[in-house]
A and B are shown apart, each in its own frame.
Chain A
Amino acid sequence: NAGVTQTPKFQVLKTGQSMTLQCAQDMNHEYMSWYRQDPGMGLRLIHYSVGAGITDQGEVPNGYNVSRSTTEDFPLRLLSAAPSQTSVYFCASRPTGGNTEAFFGQGTRLTVV
């Protein structure tokens, strides 16, 4: 059981470039989320989805797009990378229900130069 798989693990972008961070889960979880982790700031929610075809903005959505065409996949798109988007990005999934714990991918370390 692979759980939550993120690709790539590392990426360097130039300012203005675009890219997609991939996230896939094989646990049939309805809820999926993208977070960014910055030193001293914990995890901040970028976008989330409560099911295929349904997405919503989190705390820091600007500069990012998401889509959820299938239950398994939840890609995060950086439209025009900026140095402020240098961070570690985590994808998470969990079953339906307010009391369920999340399963996290191993993260993508992104550097924008």
Chain B
Amino acid sequence: AQSVAQPEDQVNVAEGNPLTVKCTYSVSGNPYLFWYVQYPNRGLQFLLKYITGDNLVKGSYGFEAEFNKSQTSFHLKKPSALVSDSALYFCAVRGPDTGGFKTIFGAGTRLFVKA
């Protein structure tokens, strides 16, 4: 069955340090992969996506993500964290297994950046 796993409920980093939020997926074929961010009392906002091509994808607010097909992972990264990056991050996948229409979301990872 198709699924998305975000193994960490919370990630804590100090401001200025690099951050990684992990995501692995189980979808056959060539999926489309997404990262969204949710700030308190707001809807989700799109950060970046992997469709095809270069495995390193750059997105909004200095975030990037690395697609690894052999490990079925799509980890979100940022070289230098900001306190304002503190939010809830969701990994999502869409592909042939999901009918091409439905998007499956991970449970979310809360990022806390300490000043």
Contact = CB atoms under 8 A, between A and B. Distances in A.
Contacts, number: 57
Given A98-B94, A99-B32, A99-B49, A45 B43 contact: no
A41 B101 contact: no
Contacts of A90: 43-44
Contacts of B101: 31, 48, 50, 98
A78 to B, nearest CB: 20
Q: How large is the interface on A (under 10, 10 to 19, 20 to 34, 35 or more residues)?
A: 20 to 34
B105 A42 contact: yes
A33 B108 CA distance: 19
Interface class of chain A by DSSP: strand
Interface string B78-99: 0000000000001000110000
Interface in A78-97: 90, 92
Given A42-B106, A42-B108, A107 B43 contact: yes
A48 B43 contact: no
A85 to B, nearest CB: 19
Interface of A: 4, 31, 33, 35, 40-45, 48, 50, 58, 90, 92, 98-99, 101-107
27 contacts: A4-B43, A33-B102, A33-B103, A40-B107, A42-B4, A42-B6, A42-B90, A42-B108, A43-B90, A43-B105, A48-B101, A48-B102, A90-B43, A92-B43, A98-B32, A99-B32, A99-B51, A99-B94, A101-B34, A101-B46, A101-B49, A103-B46, A104-B36, A104-B43, A104-B45, A106-B41, A107-B43
